[in-house]
Structure 1
Amino acid sequence: MDVPLWVWLATIGAMVAILVVDLAIVDHPWSKKSGPREFGMKQAAWWAVFYIGIAIVFGFGLWFVGGGTVAGEYFAGFVTEKSLSVDNLFVFYLIMSSFAVPKRYQHEVLLVGIVIALVMRGIFIALGAQAINAWSEVFYFFGALLLFTAIKIVRDNVKQDDEEKDYSDSFAVRMVRRVWPVTDEYHGARLTVKQGGRRHVTPMFLVIVAIGMTDLIFAVDSIPAIFGLTQDPYIVFTANAFALLGLRQLYFLLAGLMDRLAYIGWGLAAIMVFIAVKMFLHALHENNVPVPEVGIGLSLSVILGVMVITVVASLLSSRSSIGRGSGESEKSEAATSGGSGE
């Protein structure tokens, strides 16, 4: 799809305006005297619905302007990137738990993380588009990278029950600690403070470093995934941007469900493998090998189907586990009361 420069500028300008309005409405009520408020579930739900709504409206706008294929590529990319963003939220959750970030400051950390992610993904999109135009065999590399990502997701899910990674002791954080002294406590949302005549970084700065490194890793994973669905830079960018917008509201909305979405990682791994196969087939087709290609309709159906199945399976599994836990608790209480009665 040939997109003029003014459309790119208008799209980026509109997204910046949405973020400014978000900040003005959500952050304006804070005062220096009372400090930041905690983000409520009801507020998060309304904002999450708003952001998903504008992403869907944008997709139908693409359908009207560019046709069903363009819109299908956008929706497939948006669902994939949104799913990866939810997986990203799990890591954000672990990071902020490792650093014990006060809840009233978590939305600021998430905002910085989203901005860093947008910038990094913008850079990777530009590089990826140039690589695809110059070298069609790059799809083999992207496909291999997605297979590696799928293996990594499965490995992380297998290890999840055995050990939980401590992000407060990552390599990047250790490097920062070697260069600058770190305060023991948070100083609001400040990144640095002066103590004893020397500049110190705060734990908030370490959190931002950890979030930034996470964004870099996820950008490397997510950009090849969406290039496997569409090679249009405009669709790649908008699908990524709309998937990231509203991510901080979605974080607070899903905070209580983090432990219940146990199978979402497996679903993402399956999607990565599917897109990798699609990329290999496309690369072979580009090199005049007579192989079938996977259409965007099938891609969208598979992606939506896998995510629906994994989310429903996760919630059902969580519900049955809660039911078994409460049943065992009742039996234990009954046994205890019966024993005490004797």
Structure 2
Amino acid sequence: MVVPTWAWLATIGGLIALLAIDLFIVDRKPHEVTVGEAGRWVAFYIGCAIAFGGAIWAFSGGTYAGEFFAGYITEYSLSVDNLFIFLIIMAAFKVPRIHQHKVLLIGIVLALVMRGMFIAVGAVAIAKFSWVFYLFGAFLIYTAWNLSKQGIGGDDEEYEENALTRIARKVFPVTDTYHGGDSFVKVDGKRFVTPMFIVMIAIGTADLLFAVDSIPAIFGLTKEPFLVFSANAFALMGLRQLYFLLGGLLRKLIYLSVGLAVILAFIGVKLVLEALHTNSLPFINGGAEVGVWVPNIAVSLSVIIGVLAVTTVASLRKSKRDEAAAAAAGTPAATDESTVAESRGAQSSASDSASPVEPRH
């Protein structure tokens, strides 16, 4: 796929324009994002991604368009699972809901920059060393195994500050309360950082960890850096609106981790098969290529969509049965109870002067 410089510049410029719209229109006045507003923005960003994929189809053909859509759907799906971590972080720090939008925006900008660097390094490594696919494939299969043993929305989930946030607390004096949406303030002539600054560090480092599995996953679907970057960017663009749209519904997707594990395992196996197909390691088949079947993009896209559809339907049915059983027994469903508790934790600081909870170390 030959991508001219103007296409890269136009794509990056368009993404910056979208961020500017989000920043100066949506964030012009801090407010609680309603479900309706979030739904409209999610639809808008999905529409932008579809239009972008259509343009790729028109200029470069269906194969590359299919790779973009497969990558976009995979990254968007992984992002849904990651939203649960965002919920935990927001609740742990008691971020006022009117400022959660700003925190997520900063986190997404940081994620775009970090993933851009990851993609550049990954593209160079793949171009020079085809055996990198063995490593990527093994890593994704290992990640899938770990993910399959986890459940989204578990009652024992609790945020623990990472090393970077702990260092920031030691290096910078931190105020006890939020000061609007400010990250830096002066108190009695002395400069402080606010809990908003610490939250942004927590969100940004979480994004960095998410990129560790998402970047190898999308390279398993396309080797084109342009498609890898654009699919990641469009998936991240609608992420914070999706956060407000789904909210407590995330806990109803109880089989999401299992579904994502299946997808990551499939992509991991696909990477290993591609590595065998282009093998150059002397200790495997004498350094010659191994004639194995490698799933094409149509098969990959079908598997991804099929697994997500089955996972979503099965999750919602299971949640509905659990709620019905809990109602019949005269007790609130565990999913709803945990969602309400979390919602109270996240909203209890509705005013800017709310004091954040110190996360457990």
Same fold (TM over 0.5): yes
Aligned pair in 2 of structure 1 residues 176, 237: CA closer, same or farther (>3 Å)?
Answer: same
TM-score by length of 1: 0.91
Distance 1:222 1:262 in 2: 21
- The AA in structure 1 aligned to 2:320 is R
Residue pair 2:220, 2:270 contacting (<8 A) in 1 also:
yes
1:1-342 matches, within 5 Å, as 1-28=1-28, 30=29, 36-157=30-151, 161=154, 163-167=156-160, 169-287=161-279, 288-329=289-330
- Secondary structure of 2:251's partner? coil
1:139-162 deviations in whole A, cap 9, x for unaligned?
01111221232233234428x636
Distance 1:74 1:81 in 2: 10
- Secondary structure of 1:86's partner? helix
Distance 1:22 1:199 in 2: 29
1:256-287 deviations in whole A, cap 9, x for unaligned?
31211111111111111000000000000001
| Alignment size in residue pairs | 323
TM-score by length of 2: 0.86
Instruction: Pick the structure with more helix per residue.
Output: 1
- Secondary structure of 1:37's partner? coil
Range moving further from structure 2, 7-16 or 17-26: 17-26
Q: Which runs of 5+ in 2 are unaligned?
A: 280-288, 332-361
Distance 1:19 1:209 in 2: 20
1:69-95 deviations in whole A, cap 9, x for unaligned?
111111110110000111121111111
Aligned pair in 2 of structure 1 residues 82, 161: CA closer, same or farther (>3 Å)?
Answer: closer
> RMSD across aligned C-alpha pairs, in angstroms?
1.6
Distance 1:6 1:17 in 2: 16
Report the Cα offset of residue 126 of structure 1: 0.6
Distance 2:151 2:210 in 1: 16
- The AA in structure 2 aligned to 1:4 is P
Range moving further from structure 2, 268-277 or 64-73: 64-73
- The AA in structure 1 aligned to 2:116 is G
Distance 1:204 1:148 in 2: 35
- The AA in structure 1 aligned to 2:199 is V
Distance 1:301 1:26 in 2: 35
